[in-house]
Chains A and B, each alone.
Chain A
């Protein structure tokens, strides 16, 4: 009898719009980011009475909504959801969708569309968002009648969050939002044409363990796949047992604490000296949940040619794409590590680890000592990050934008807690940070969220200060202001004979700007004022902004020039 009553309740005649919201609730969504407009108005109208169950954050631009959804997904481990109207609303999502695709972030983006009888007629605010988003989504689907809504949304969540996660877009015509339908929801658990979790090949696990047990100079490269798989503990147990030195990719930062004795640094274009140099000296490279991006490998023709390569990766298309592996394990990181760890022998590669420490001594001498502890001249980005890192004990969520400040933050923030690094890695989207930090805070409200931005990137999505004000989002915003598009300027200095073509910026008064949004703000330019300014900024109740005026023409080193061998890592 009870079951019958429940079915009765489930099967209710409601509008398509309400079905959208009910479906989201069935997927345990509690926060969505969006911006209303004509073609999505029925959903917004339904949202009006769901305010208690669904928190909707009104951003100031659809790009802000999608980046916020990304930040939310990355800090919470849940699927990020955003809502936009047709036409320009939908196209404004594209940058964030492309960013989520390349950085494997689970998103469900819902767009309104003109009524189905108007499709293809160039109606007001009509755009072919299905066609436009196709190359940058894991899956997309156009809903033209209300009854398709539960099917589309349940598939969307399953596809976005399973396997290698990614963005999904559901385009819903206005008539489908308005039609009545019988609502019933069952989560999607299987699609026969989609096999997100390949079975682990046990023979490959055995082969991999043999290579690891035999290696004299092994090096592990850890990527975001380990975090996405929730395998931080398994990863730590694995490297500790086999005594393997660990270098991290940009998105792999914070999987292993920088204070761990086996952590040897950040690898790639602006990574640490040791991991780059030793990649071409190791005898075994164990890559886990990473995709050998060109910013990691430099010239692939000269990359780790002396080493055997084990590649543990969930996405089969990444295996042998850029770097050929000797043993490829196409499976989930957690599953693989659970099977692999019992087979590896207890080892301690002290001599080999010492070689990384020697590299650190060199890097300290040539780069870090000058960058972190300057005694005169203007403030430098690394010393600012270093002080923030010390003061926060490396335990904040750090959201960065793209450019010099991003590389400096990645190099010098001493990540000491898991799931703390949120940045736009693959796509390199300037303007990512401010909205992503908003989402990150809502996804992990108990944690301190610091957004680190350059003066250029800040102005790309500066309108989100309005969102921060309206919802009193407690994030700490740091602008490292050098009045330059610093990374482009650095390349112009190094590779374009100092022709500073359109990289210098006249900036507004950032402090006054933040204050106009009721956000507490201060500027610091003197070394002796830095610590106090940081403390005030971080201890402020509610959102606050700190602008640090830094040296205009500072360069980030070490650097592997684009297309060059990692062996040619430059220290100056």
Chain B
């Protein structure tokens, strides 16, 4: 089988105008093809009025390229890029809730927190909340280790990723602004 046809995890980074309704326009491109979105994050960028959507999907490269072309077609999308794992730096945040009684048992949880580079962000009479930032593998590892002590609640954020590319968002947008391709000018040729 060609590499293009093997499904694997890709990170999509989509730069958009900050407009309401765009999230829906974006996700229907996936739902129409019955593609599941593994994780999704929307955030502001260093450029005012520009948002960045970061999506993680498991798809074949061939299929995903077609999806990305459809995303680029959306009127309010400035740019869309597909990355595989080694083209980006990325992190996810996980929060774990465990009971104070489990925590106080034998100091094991505290040790796990320390060894995993996690931290305790809240503590009350009944629960403690542990936070761990890392890759999915890392946050999952801590999950497995905490599981025997009883995890009362677990949540993981969408991926945030920054590409290793040299492209600057601001320069990219400047380029779009100065582009001539907004109008058809046959006389230019």
> What residues of B have a CB within 8 angstroms of the CB of A196 in the complex?
181-182, 184
> What residues of B have a CB within 8 angstroms of the CB of A131 in the complex?
24
Given contacts A192-B173, A193-B17, contact A339 B189 (CB under 8 A): yes
> What residues of B have a CB within 8 angstroms of the CB of A134 in the complex?
21, 24-25, 28
B28: min CB distance to chain A, Å:
5
B75 interface residue (CB < 8 Å to A): yes
Task: Evaluate contact between B72 and A316: CB separation under 8 angstroms.
Answer: yes
Given contacts A134-B24, A316-B69, A317-B69, contact A192 B176 (CB under 8 A): yes
Scan residues 69-105 of chain B and give those whose CB is less than 8 A from a CB of chain A: 69-70, 72-73, 75-78
Bound complex: CA A198 to CA B179 (Å): 9
Given contacts A138-B75, A200-B189, A335-B189, contact A195 B182 (CB under 8 A): yes
Scan residues 73-93 of chain A and give those whose CB is less than 8 A from a CB of chain B: none
Task: Evaluate contact between B181 and A193: CB separation under 8 angstroms.
Answer: no
Bound complex: CA A135 to CA B28 (Å): 7
Interface residue tally of chain A, by bracket?
A: 20 to 34
A190 interface residue (CB < 8 Å to B): yes
B171 interface residue (CB < 8 Å to A): no
Bound complex: CA A193 to CA B51 (Å): 12
Partner of B184, one of A140, A197, A316, A319: A197
B180 interface residue (CB < 8 Å to A): yes
Task: Evaluate contact between B181 and A199: CB separation under 8 angstroms.
Answer: yes
Task: Evaluate contact between B182 and A197: CB separation under 8 angstroms.
Answer: yes
Given contacts A135-B28, A334-B186, contact A195 B181 (CB under 8 A): yes
Task: Evaluate contact between A335 and B16: CB separation under 8 angstroms.
Answer: no
Task: Evaluate contact between B77 and A198: CB separation under 8 angstroms.
Answer: no
Bound complex: CA A144 to CA B25 (Å): 20
Partner of A130, one of B21, B78, B182: B21
Q: Determine the residue in chain A with the shortest Cβ distance to B28.
A: A135
Partner of B70, one of A189, A195, A317: A317
Task: Evaluate contact between A193 and B176: CB separation under 8 angstroms.
Answer: yes
Task: Evaluate contact between A315 and B183: CB separation under 8 angstroms.
Answer: no
Task: Evaluate contact between A191 and B75: CB separation under 8 angstroms.
Answer: yes
Task: Evaluate contact between A159 and B181: CB separation under 8 angstroms.
Answer: no
Given contacts A192-B173, A200-B189, A321-B66, contact A135 B182 (CB under 8 A): no
A186 interface residue (CB < 8 Å to B): no
Bound complex: CA A301 to CA B181 (Å): 35
Given contacts A130-B21, A131-B24, A134-B21, contact A194 B182 (CB under 8 A): yes
Task: Evaluate contact between B183 and A197: CB separation under 8 angstroms.
Answer: yes
B106: min CB distance to chain A, Å:
52
21 contacts between A and B (CB under 8 A): A130-B21, A134-B25, A140-B21, A189-B182, A189-B183, A193-B17, A193-B75, A194-B182, A195-B176, A195-B179, A198-B181, A199-B181, A315-B73, A316-B69, A317-B69, A317-B72, A317-B73, A319-B69, A320-B65, A321-B69, A338-B189
Closest 8 CB pairs of A and B: A317-B69, A190-B182, A195-B181, A139-B75, A197-B184, A193-B78, A197-B181, A192-B176
Known: A332-B186, A335-B189. 16 other contacts (CB 8 A): A134-B21, A135-B28, A162-B183, A189-B183, A190-B183, A192-B78, A192-B176, A192-B177, A192-B179, A193-B75, A193-B78, A193-B176, A194-B75, A195-B179, A197-B183, A199-B181
